[in-house]
A = this chain, B = another copy of it.
């Protein structure tokens, strides 16, 4: 019976990254947005996704909305849990990039060391993007009222108030959301991504 000799080990030829690039007309990549709460990460991620989708790219956003209630639902907001959350997101983002997608992640990810772990997971496919706005600007926007609550001591370990934010030392790209409009920021992001990933 031929089936008894079904060989389960040798036939492991995955789709090569080049084959996926050729088919999609762009490489996979992790666009890792980092910045203070209120800096604009999630808004810019969603807008950038829309723009890239309209250009025919395979693109997906990972953010608190689709990660915190699922993959990381067992984690809280202690430093250890934040680190584990970012580690998992880094690994998942690397899988998406390996699948040929442009994945945009929108998480504060305040610690340099955690972001380095995410970088290692994706290797060359990782792009750290600093969504840059200072504390005064982010606090002035305060769209969810979280800064105010944090100042009043009602949200513990809030980044920018009672927990540190370590800004990127050598990010691949910086977007100045303090002085540019949303549209201008998205223009710059899309231009950067297209230049780096489209083949």
Contact-size category for A: 35 or more
Q: How far is it, in angstroms, between the C-alpha of A121 and the C-alpha of B4 when the chains are bound? A: 35
Q: How far is the CA of A60 from the CA of B98 in the complex (A)?
A: 9
Interface residue A182 (Cβ < 8 Å from any Cβ of B): yes
The number of times this chain is found in the oligomer is 2
Q: How far is the CA of A42 from the CA of B7 in the complex (A)?
A: 11
Q: Is A195 part of the binding interface, using a Cβ–Cβ cutoff of 8 Å?
A: no
Q: Which residues 76-125 of A sit at the B interface, judged by CB distance below 8 A?
A: 84, 88, 91-92, 94-96, 98-101, 121
Instruction: Please tell me if A178 contacts chain B, counting CB pairs below 8 Å.
Output: yes
CB < 8 Å neighbour of A14 from B14, B49, B84, B88: B49
- Residues of B contacting A152 with CB < 8 Å? none
Q: A61 vs B12: C-alpha distance in the bound complex, in angstroms?
A: 12
Residue contact A11 to B95, C-beta cutoff 8 Å:
no
A15-B53, A53-B19, A99-B101 given as contacts; is B40 within 8 A of A6 (CB)?
Answer: yes
Known: A15-B49, A15-B50. A9 touches B143 (CB 8 A): yes
Residue of B nearest to A41 (CB): B8
Task: Check A170 for interface membership: any CB of B closer than 8 A.
Answer: no
> Which residue in B14, B43, B58, B94 is a CB contact (below 8 Å) of A58?
B58
Contacts from A to B (Cβ < 8 Å)? 2-9, 11-15, 19, 23, 38, 40, 42-43, 46-47, 49-50, 53, 56, 58, 60-62, 65-67, 70-71, 74, 84, 88, 91-92, 94-96, 98-101, 121, 137, 140-141, 143-144, 177-182
Given contacts A23-B56, A60-B98, A71-B91, 5 further A-B contacts (CB under 8 A): A3-B178, A6-B181, A8-B40, A11-B182, A67-B95
